[in-house]
């Protein structure tokens, strides 16, 4: 009868009334308890040491709930638990609170939501928190490049002339030579006349400023004039007390006709003659060289301090030139 009650199974195991020759199958009491007695807790693989440590910390009620889950739900729960443990360990390594999180911590994977299953890795193993790309090696924090410059870095000195390359020496020599030549032409010769260079006096064009020093019977259309020290050899501009004003004044046709009609002829004294200056307008210089100017009485142009001098009418133009001296 015993032989008749036995049935032969495909895997070669004998079964009779739910019992085996070895007796009733004992339930494992290790980490596999969460899997309802199946190897690896019923997830199809052996548990890692970290997973076994998590299972040992479960309460009997939690283990009972896990036994009622399907293998897929067990895998999902186990992966989420490992990820939570790893995140807690990473947060503990970040240091005291208040620090800015690095890019590595912000890029951590988030646990899957309800109903989502992680793709299986090589060998059917679910890719949980314990598995990382590149052979499981942990990636360190990224180095953030900044434009910060150390203010205490010593300043690099420029190389000396002897340390320069040949082409650099040539460029420096050409520049220095050009500067010397230009300075010689401007200040050492009479080729170029710089307005205001003579005795520190400036060539001015402000008609209102001229009217503050001398009298203008009619307002000129344009003026070109110069104020400079007079009769004080070697005196600087700041130390001079006697001044002279030479002004070239151009009037409109109507004003010029009125001034010519009211002008009185007066010969110039030898020491009050008006000579052509280099800063005179070109047309005035050409007219004075072509025909002798008409000398007139300068008294209509006298000012508070300037009460002597001379004046001329440039023939063929609407221009009057005065040279007035201070007391």
Least confident of 26-30, 239-243, 254-258, 284-288: 26-30
Burial string for 81-90 (b: 16+ CB within 10 Å, else e) reads: bbbebbbeee
Total-model pTM = 0.41
Least confident of 7-16, 90-99, 230-239, 284-293: 7-16
Instruction: Name the β-bridge partners of 319.
Output: 250, 314
Q: Among 72-76, 145-149, 253-257, which range has the highest average pLDDT?
A: 253-257
- Summarize pLDDT for 124-146 with one digit per residue, the tens: 444 444 445 455 555 555 655 55
Whole-number mean pLDDT of the chain? Answer: 73
Give pLDDT, residue 223: 94
3-state secondary structure of 322: strand
The number of residues making up the chain comes to 327
Region 236-251 average pLDDT: 81
Please say if the pLDDT value at position 257 is more than 60. Answer: yes
**What CA–CA distances, in Å, run from 182 to 27, 59, 155, 177, 279?**
107, 97, 34, 9, 21
The helix or strand, by DSSP H or E, that contains position 171, with its residue range, turns out to be helix 166-188
Rounded to whole angstroms, the Cα distance separating 164 from 223 reads 53
- Summarize pLDDT for 37-54 with one digit per residue, the tens: 455 667 777 888 888 888
Please say if the pLDDT value at position 237 is more than 90. Answer: no
Whether 214 and 249 have beta carbons less than 8 Å apart is answered as no
Give pLDDT, residue 143: 57
Whether 252 and 272 have beta carbons less than 8 Å apart is answered as no
Of 143, 125, 92, 133, residue with least CA distance to 109: 133
Please say if the pLDDT value at position 186 is more than 60. Answer: yes
Of 123, 112, 105, residue with least CA distance to 78: 112
Q: Among 191-195, 201-205, 233-237, 257-261, which range has the highest average pLDDT?
A: 257-261
- Summarize pLDDT for 65-121 with one digit per residue, the tens: 888 888 888 888 888 888 888 888 777 666 555 444 444 444 454 555 544 555 554
Residue 57 pLDDT grade (very low, low, confident, very high; cuts 50, 70, 90): confident
Rounded to whole angstroms, the Cα distance separating 120 from 122 reads 7
Give pLDDT, residue 280: 92
Query: Is the CA virtual torsion 184, 188, 190, 193 positive or negative?
Result: positive
Tokens read off for 136 = 């499981």
3-state secondary structure of 15: strand
């Amino acid at each position: 009868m015993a032989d008749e009650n036995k049935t032969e199974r495909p895997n070669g195991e004998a079964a009779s009334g739910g019992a085996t020759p070895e007796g009733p199958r004992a339930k494992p009491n290790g980490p596999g308890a969460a899997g309802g007695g199946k190897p690896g807790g019923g997830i199809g693989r052996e548990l890692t040491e970290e997973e076994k440590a998590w299972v040992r910390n479960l309460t009997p009620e939690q283990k009972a709930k896990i036994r009622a889950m399907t293998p897929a739900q067990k895998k999902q729960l186990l992966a989420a638990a490992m990820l939570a443990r790893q995140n807690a360990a990473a947060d503990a390594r970040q240091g005291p609170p208040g620090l800015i999180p690095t890019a590595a911590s912000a890029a951590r994977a988030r646990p899957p939501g309800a109903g989502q299953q992680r793709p299986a890795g090589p060998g059917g193993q679910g890719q949980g928190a314990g598995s990382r790309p590149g052979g499981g090696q942990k990636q360190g924090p990224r180095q953030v490049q900044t434009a910060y410059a150390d203010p205490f870095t010593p300043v690099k000195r420029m190389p000396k002339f002897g340390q320069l390359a040949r082409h650099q020496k040539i460029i420096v020599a050409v520049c220095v030579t050009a500067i010397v030549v230009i300075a010689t032409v401007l200040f050492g010769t009479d080729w170029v006349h710089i307005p205001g260079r003579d005795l520190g006096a400036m060539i001015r064009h402000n008609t209102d400023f001229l009217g503050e020093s001398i009298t203008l019977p009619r307002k000129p259309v344009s003026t070109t004039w110069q104020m400079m020290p007079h009769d004080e050899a070697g005196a600087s501009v700041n130390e001079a007390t006697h001044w002279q004003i030479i002004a070239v004044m151009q009037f409109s046709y109507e004003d010029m006709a009125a001034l010519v009609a009211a002008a009185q002829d007066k010969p110039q004294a030898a020491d009050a003659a008006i000579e052509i200056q280099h800063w005179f307008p070109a047309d005035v210089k050409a007219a004075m060289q072509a025909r002798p100017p008409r000398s007139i009485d300068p008294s209509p142009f006298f000012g508070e301090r300037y009460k002597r001098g001379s004046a001329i009418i440039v023939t063929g133009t609407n221009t009057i030139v005065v040279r007035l001296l201070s007391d």
